[in-house]
Chains A and B, each alone.
Chain A
Amino acid sequence: MCGIVGLFLKDPKLEPRLGELLTDMLITMTDRGPDSAGIAIYSRGKDGHAKLTVQSADPDRDFADLPEKLGKAIGASVKLAQKDTHAVLDLPSDRLEAARHAMREIAPTVKVMSAGEGIEIYKEVGLPKDVAARFDVAHMQGTHGIGHTRMATESAVTTMGAHPFSTGSDQCLVHNGSLSNHNGLRRELIRQGMTFETQNDTEVAAAYVSHKLQEGQNLGQALESGLDDLDGFFTFVVGTKDGFGVVRDPIACKPAVMAETDQYVAFGSEYRALVNLPGIDNARVWEPEPATVYFWER
């Protein structure tokens, strides 16, 4: 049960302001989710480079020699930029999968938040304004981003239980609602080789989408499949390297508002998340239909 915000920029002139706009939107949704907050930011990557965003409860201990250890493990140069409990590891994109696997071995106390060419995920327990400040989200630039404020229903309030969930390269998913068949689905996905970090229902939805993508579906198809296979209440917002999607369950009673202008597509659990966006007064504002997949791609 939560607040969701999302912003997909069409106009590159707004890219320097992505973090600033998203931070404002995220903080507006504090009442819907005071337990934890998180944000996925997509930026134009550098050719041949990829990023692992990682988190540690003890960053001073874990991050000091991490680039060196990881570099050795994957046989490439790795640079680390720390932001509070998180760090972004810059490495060659062809070594990304190897790096993700190596992390478990060389730094078991470090959690991988996201992996990809464009994505960075920052999430922590606490009020959205504090989480945004810790990572200085307001100064981040990028092409699109998704934020989430969480009011935990059944699973624990932890860093890993915060949204967004990323279970595949450059993918992320956030959720408002409550799934009712995630335990069975989780068992099935584990049987098919997916791994899970939490007991959170949303992680199952994220892994479900990733699994469908691995099977060869595109994002739109994966979300359509989800309408059949996921039971309960959900509004999902998903991100990929170049895209941004929204889908609501067929009952669709969790709130969702979208706005589109020449400059952007925006999503908010409530309209007030959108009120400070440039040109909002003249935007096309609507509510996504139930059981309908919306998808934008650059």
Chain B
Amino acid sequence: MTDFPHTPPKQSWTFSNDVNAEIRRAAATGIYDIRGGGSKRHLPHFDDLLFLGASISRYPLEGYREKCATDVWLGTRFAKKPIHLDIPVTIAGMSFGALSGPAKEALGRGASEAGTSTTTGDGGMTEEERGHSKTLVYQYLPSRYGMNPDDLRRADAIEVVVGQGAKPGGGGMLLGQKISDRVAMMRNLPKGIDQRSACRHPDWTGPDDLEIKILEIREITEWEKPIYVKIGGARPYYDTALAVKAGADVVVLDGMQGGTAATQDVFIENVGMPILACIPQAVKALQDLGMHRKVQLIVSGGIRTGADVAKAMALGADAVAIGTAALVALGDNDPALEAEYQKLGTTAGAYDDWHEGKDPAGITTQDPDLFKRFDPILGGRRLKNYLKVMTLEAQTIARACGKNHLHNLEPEDLCALTIESAAMAGVPLAGTSWIPGRNGGF
């Protein structure tokens, strides 16, 4: 027999190894994949934008000597006590339950030392967190776990959570492994059960009701606290406009890269828009209502560096929030723990089963043996360092663009490397004056 050359085996693009593995997993277990973290797809992001530094037509500022301010006021529209932060990088809402008590403490320590705020999550307010956070934003969520008027009054701001970027329109899922005694007590749930979170608030639906809910919260807190409204980035033009109409002081807009403690992978990867695409629409809504900079915009979802901060602000945000990045700063997914990640069947950098409570870094767990590994003082220090670096990076860019304040960055300071990012961000393709879609639709 003659040995003719064979066509080499060809893996299907549609039915890739990953896809087939997921089909086999679903067939074997009968449950959709639940995981933490945000979208892992390759998405158009800030990486595709570049700043146009100053040369002759514009004059740059001297680094470290000529002032480039970074502070931000939040909640100036109605609240009697708006928040003043030293830096425009805040810590996003992450629940006690998803995170351990010491991890919450570390977030409070690091943020306070860096002059910014932290945010509670879907598990109520803990003493660790309140005690160590100079400025604490209290989330008002559909589940209302641990919700009480005392915590409402001792918060510095209240964030009414309508949605999050990882799952706009969806509720949450905290699997039984993590419902420890303390989490069960705070949430008033039986220990060890799966916790199903609602996707809508139990006592209001829609912007007209939201306006009345905001009135109630303001009355209970004497109109002192800024009221944020957090939305998942899916229909940001309308949702931002309606949050403003309902009376929000601050809109928090979370793109699909935004993390979550646990939800269906199909949701994380297939619902919502990347933050790059969300910001211009939200800013347009604010501008159309004459409320840009009057109702502040905080954006989140995949913010990693000072460059990301500067780009988000140039597109019109007043501040950003970080979640996943803060966990990484604390030590989550650290390659130093690779051997332990391997034991869990994963690898450092890919670990996302935060809901299982086995985090070797001791951050996303309720297991006392694991969370004892985590030093909240050291973690706080690391977070502070990281926040400071991001701020310095953002200042470096802003100075190069000739700005004495970060909030003076504008879309015209940017250009885009790809047609898609140019279209989404509404800035010209590098080296051209072409903004795809302009003069031809939104």
Question: Would A and B touch once assembled, by the CB under 8 A criterion?
Answer: yes
Tell me the complex Cα distance, A269–B205, Å.
13
A32 in the interface (beta carbon within 8 A): yes
Cα–Cα distance between A269 and B204 once the two chains are bound (Å): 13
> A178-B206, A253-B205, A254-B206 are known contacts. Are A1 and B242 too (CB-CB below 8 A)?
yes
Q: Given the complex, which residues of A lie within 8 Å of B200, measured CB to CB? A: 253
With an 8 A cutoff between CB atoms, is A233 at the interface?
yes
Query: With A34-B245, A151-B242 in contact, is A1–B235 under 8 Å at CB?
Result: no
C-alpha spacing A269/B209, complex, angstroms: 11
Task: Flag whether B208 is at the interface (Cβ < 8 A).
Answer: yes
Q: Which single residue of chain A is at the shortest CB-CB distance from B207? A: A1
Beta-carbon contact of A153 and B238 below 8 Å: yes
Q: Is B211 an interface residue (CB 8 A)?
A: yes
Alpha-carbon distance between A1 and B242 when the two chains are bound, in angstroms: 10
Q: Across the interface, which residues of B come within 8 angstroms of A151, CB to CB?
A: 207-208, 242, 245
Contact assessment for B242 and A153 in the assembled complex, using a CB-CB cutoff below 8 Å? yes
> Cβ of A1 and Cβ of B208 under 8 Å apart?
yes
Whether, in the assembled complex, A6 has its beta carbon less than 8 Å from a beta carbon of chain B, the answer is: no
The residue on A at minimum CB distance from B209 is A255
In the bound complex, residues from chain B placing their C-beta under 8 Å from that of A233 are 205-206
A245 at the interface (CB under 8 A from B): no
A3 within 8 A of B: yes
Interface mask (A177-190 → B, CB under 8 Å = 1, otherwise 0): 11000000000000
B161-202 vs A, CB cutoff 8 Å, 1 = contact: the mask equals: 000000000000000000000000000000000000000100
Within the assembled complex, what's the spacing in Å between the Cα atoms of A2 and B208?
Answer: 6
Q: What is the CB-to-nearest-CB distance from A216 to chain B, in angstroms, rounded to a whole number?
A: 35
Query: Which chain A positions have C-beta within 8 A of B238?
Result: 153-154
The answer, yes or no, to whether A176 is at the interface (CB within 8 Å) is yes
9 A/B residue pairs, CB under 8 Å, sorted by A: A1-B206, A3-B208, A31-B211, A31-B212, A151-B207, A151-B245, A154-B235, A177-B206, A254-B209
Which residues on B sit within 8 Å (CB–CB) of A35?
245
0/1 interface trace, chain A 16-31, chain B, CB 8 Å (1 if under): 0000000000000001
Instruction: Return chain A residues, CB-CB under 8 Å to B209.
Output: 254-255
- Nearest Cβ on chain A to B428's Cβ, whole angstroms: 28
A120 to chain B, nearest CB (A): 26
Which chain B positions have C-beta within 8 A of A153? Answer: 207, 238, 242
Chain B residues near A255 (CB, 8 Å)? 209
Instruction: Please count how many residues in chain A sit with their CB below 8 Å of the partner chain's CB atoms.
Output: 19
> With A1-B242, A151-B242, A151-B245 in contact, is A176–B205 under 8 Å at CB?
no
Q: Is A38 an interface residue (CB 8 A)?
A: no
CB under 8 Å from chain B, chain A span 232-246 = 233
- Residues of B near A32 (CB, < 8 A) are 208, 211
B218 → chain A, closest Cβ, in Å?
A: 13
Q: Which residues of A contact B (CB under 8 A)?
A: 1-3, 31-35, 151, 153-154, 176-178, 233, 253-255, 269
Q: How far is the CA of A178 from the CA of B200 in the complex (A)?
A: 14
How distant is B43 from chain A, measured CB to nearest CB, in Å? 25
CA gap between A85 and B337 in the complex, in Å: 72
Those of B209-267 within 8 Å (CB) of chain A: 209, 211-212, 235, 238, 242, 245
Residues from chain A with Cβ under 8 Å of B212 in the complex: 31
A159 to chain B, nearest CB (A): 18
Complex: how many Å from CA A134 to CA B211? 27
Residues of A within 8 A of B245 (CB): 34-35, 151
Q: Which residues of A contact B242 (CB under 8 A)?
A: 1, 151, 153
* Assembly CA distance A253 to B208 (angstroms): 12
Task: Report yes or no: A33 in contact with B208, Cβ–Cβ below 8 A.
Answer: yes
Besides A151-B242, A255-B209, 20 more A-B contacts (Cβ < 8 Å) are A1-B206, A1-B207, A1-B208, A1-B242, A3-B208, A31-B211, A31-B212, A32-B208, A33-B208, A35-B245, A151-B245, A153-B207, A176-B208, A177-B206, A178-B206, A233-B205, A233-B206, A253-B200, A254-B209, A269-B208
Determine the distance from Cα of A177 to Cα of B235 in the docked complex, in whole angstroms: 17
What CA separation (Å) do A3 and B208 show in the bound complex? 8
What sequence of 0s and 1s flags, for each residue 397-415 of chain B, a beta carbon within 8 Å of any chain A beta carbon? 0000000000000000000
Question: Which residues on A sit within 8 Å (CB–CB) of B211?
Answer: 31-32
Q: Could you tell me the distance between the alpha carbons of A177 and B208 in the complex, rounded to whole angstroms?
A: 9
User: Once the chains are docked, how many angstroms separate the CA of A133 from the CA of B406?
Assistant: 47
Q: Which residue of chain B is the closest to A3 with respect to CB atoms?
A: B208
Residue of B nearest to A34 (CB): B245
How near does chain B come to A279, taking the closest CB pair, in angstroms? 27
Bound CA–CA A4/B18 (angstroms): 52
Q: Which of A2, A32, A153 has the most CB of B within 10 A?
A: A153
Q: Which of B207, B211, B235 has its CB near the most chain A CB atoms (within 10 A)?
A: B207
Q: Which residue of B lies closest to A149 (CB)?
A: B208
Which of chain A's residues has its CB closest to B212's CB? A31
The CB with the most chain B CB atoms within 10 A, among A1, A33, A35, A154, is that of A1
Closest residue of chain A to B215, judged by CB?
Answer: A31
The listed residue with most A CB atoms (<10 A of its CB), out of B200, B206, B209, B212, is B206
Residues of B within 8 A of A154 (CB): 235, 238
Give the Cβ gap from A196 to chain B, nearest Cβ, in Å: 20
CB closest chain-B residue, reference A154: B238
Q: Which residues of B contact A3 (CB under 8 A)?
A: 208
The CA-CA distance from A154 to B281 in the complex, in Å, is 13
Q: How far is the CB of B127 from chain A (nearest CB, A)?
A: 35
The closest CB in chain B to the CB of A178 belongs to: B206
| Among all A-B residue pairs, the 5 with the closest Cβ atoms | A32-B208, A253-B205, A1-B208, A1-B206, A1-B207
